[in-house]
Structure 1
Amino acid sequence: MRFLRALLSAVVATLPVLAILLIPDLVRGDAGGVPLVGIGSTLLNAAFIAAIILVPKVNGWLDPEAPDWTTATAMAAVGAVWRNRIWLALLAVLALLAVYAAGQTVAYFVGQANPAVTDGALDYSTFLAQEMTVYLLGFVLSLTTYLLIMRALTRRAD
């Protein structure tokens, strides 16, 4: 059950990422129209970093464990892990990056098997399949992994 709540927390925290991913002009330069990939990638990175920072607060709201993990205390608990156990926190980020890279790789292979742009025309359903793969396996699952590791580290820090 904790995994499902962490997964839901990651989905809620990454909703701005999903909004950006669903706009082809922001994430693809070959989608036709005005390519805004530079703006889109900047917004995407900023939204994901914000999600990484805010996911403990969202999880504290969705899966509270008083007094150590609530909306008010979750970010402070994660901050304490970063101050006192930096190497373990860096390993949590490394796990986030590994899962993120695996999700990106799967999305790459989905895109290679069924390209979203053929003959200069964008097929939005294929584009949506690729972006949902990136979103679910890259962003959401990596953030869930990070959140569960950080939550375990805060529990063990006491």
Structure 2
Amino acid sequence: MRFVRAVLSAVVATLPVLVILLIPALVRGDVPGDSLAGIGGTLLNGAFIAAVILIPTVNGWLDPEVPDWTSATAMAATGRVWRHRIWLALLAVLALLAIFAAGQTAAYLLGQNSPAVVDGELDYSRFLAQELVVYLFGYVLSLTTYVLIIRVLARRT
């Protein structure tokens, strides 16, 4: 049950990322018409960094463990982990990055086998499939792993 709540926390924390991912002009530079991929990339990175920072609070709200892990105390517990167990916290970030890279790779391979832009026209269903793979396997699963590891480390400080 804790895993399901962590997944829900990651989904809630990354909703702005999903909104950005669903707009082709913000994500792809090769779509017909005006492309805002530079702005979209910056927004996407900022939204993901904000999600990484806020995921403990969201998880504390959706899956509280009184008194150590609530929406009010989760950020402080995460800070203690980063101060006292820096190497393990860095390993949690490394796990986040590895899963994120795997999700990006899966979406890239899907895009190679089923390109979203065919003959100069965007096929939104193919685009949507690629972006949902990136979102679910890259963003949601990586943040789920991160928050579960940080939560376990916070319990031991």
Tell me the alpha carbon deviations over residues 5-25 of structure 1, each in whole angstroms, 9 at most, x when there is no partner: 000000000000000000000
Say yes or no: does 1:15 pair with 2:10. Answer: no
What is residue 67 of structure 2 aligned with on the other side? 67
Deviation at 1:112, TM superposition (A): 0.7
Deviation at 1:111, TM superposition (A): 0.5
Question: Structure 2 stretches of 5 or more lacking a match?
Answer: none
Structure-2 separation of matches of 1:127 and 1:74 = 36
One-letter amino acid matched to 1:108: Y
One-letter amino acid matched to 1:41: G
Q: Report the TM-score when normalising by structure 1.
A: 0.98
What is residue 78 of structure 2 aligned with on the other side? 78
What is residue 123 of structure 1 aligned with on the other side? 123
Structure-2 separation of matches of 1:23 and 1:137 = 19
Deviation at 1:156, TM superposition (A): 1.3
Deviation at 1:31, TM superposition (A): 1.0
Aligned residue pairs, count: 157
SS in structure 2 at match of 1:65: coil
SS in structure 2 at match of 1:47: helix
What is residue 90 of structure 1 aligned with on the other side? 90
Identity %: 76
Deviation at 1:155, TM superposition (A): 0.7
Say yes or no: does 1:137 pair with 2:146. Answer: no
Structure-1 separation of matches of 2:44 and 2:70 = 27
What is residue 148 of structure 1 aligned with on the other side? 148
Q: CA RMSD, aligned part only?
A: 0.4
Tell me the alpha carbon deviations over residues 116-148 of structure 1, each in whole angstroms, 9 at most, x when there is no partner: 001110000100000000000000000000000
Structure-1 separation of matches of 2:66 and 2:28 = 44
Tell me the alpha carbon deviations over residues 23-69 of structure 1, each in whole angstroms, 9 at most, x when there is no partner: 00000011111111110000000000000000000000000000000
Structure-1 separation of matches of 2:15 and 2:32 = 25
Say yes or no: does 1:100 pair with 2:100. Answer: yes
